[in-house]
Amino acid sequence: MIGIVDYGMGNLLSVYSAFDYLGIDVTICKTPDELEQADRIVIPGVGAFKDCIGKLHSENFVSKLNEEVLVKKKPTLGICLGMQVMAKRSFEGGVHEGLGWFDADVIKLHPNDPALRIPNIGWNEISHREGFPLFKGIPQQADLYLVHSYYVKCNDPQNVVATYDYTYPVTAAITKGNIFATQFHPEKSQDFGLRILENFLNWNPANV
């Protein structure tokens, strides 16, 4: 069973529907204990960093997530803000501490061309690490959908498995052990997105 972390914000239905569409047993987990039943965990995210991490704390998800993801090493997918909260800290609206799973900061997009928009909304061509199992069947420069003003800047380049060009390479996906996280929205990226979700279901990080 796939467990989607519900910390009471944003659009969970799209992520749920996408897994459901793929024929997968998926549950929206409103309490931390429900995550124990999940084989795989999805942390979605819409909204502001401060509210997201605040909710994860106030709903007591943080220690349970640390146990299920870091100790039990369940395959885990973060999406958009769900990826950003995995960083050490974010500079969105002040400085806020994240889950600290990645040695990374969340900082504002800073394109070198004033004509480029912030937030960046739309379909961007993604370059990804050849052979990485989550991108199986996804051509290089495939269009994936993102909508964000802040991005994850990793201190360890080994964590970065995909980028897109916004006058400089912006982190599009990161990984570490059993964790995979995307700035783009696979659940909103039509066929390529569904393929990535399918790859996540088949991902066995213990074998890597």
Enumerate binding residues for another protein (CB under 8 A).
9-14, 17-18, 20-21, 46-48, 51, 81, 93, 114, 116-125, 143, 145-149, 164-166, 185, 187-190, 193-194
CB of 196 to another protein, least distance (A): 11
Q: Which is closer to another protein, CB of 63 or CB of 190?
A: 190
The continuous run of DSSP H or E covering 174 comes out as strand 169-176
Tell me which of 96, 128, 148, 185 is the catalytic residue: 185
Give Cα separations from 207 to 75, 133, 176, 182, 184 (angstroms).
12, 11, 13, 21, 26
The secondary structure of the chain in percent helix, strand, coil, rounded to multiples of 5, reads 30, 35, 35
29 is catalytic: no
* Residue found under tokens 């088949």: 202
Q: Which is closer to another protein, CB of 72 or CB of 117?
A: 117
What does the alpha-carbon distance between residue 73 and residue 66 come to, in Å, rounded to a whole number?
9
Tell me which of 92, 128, 148, 187 is the catalytic residue: 187
Whether the upstream peptide bond of residue 119 has omega within 30° of 0, thus cis, is yes
CB of 152 to another protein, least distance (A): 15
Q: Which is closer to another protein, CB of 69 or CB of 193?
A: 193
CB of 134 to another protein, least distance (A): 17
By residue count, the chain amounts to 208
DSSP 117-169: -SSEEEEEEEEE-TT-GGGTTPPTTEEEEEEESEEEEESSGGGEEEEEESSSE
Q: Which is closer to another protein, CB of 124 or CB of 159?
A: 124
Task: Answer for the pair 141, 127: CB distance below 8 angstroms, yes or no.
Answer: yes
CB of 106 to another protein, least distance (A): 13
187 is catalytic: yes
Tell me which of 80, 96, 148, 198 is the catalytic residue: 80
Q: Which is closer to another protein, CB of 53 or CB of 69?
A: 53
CB of 100 to another protein, least distance (A): 22
Would you name the residues annotated as active-site residues? 80, 185, 187
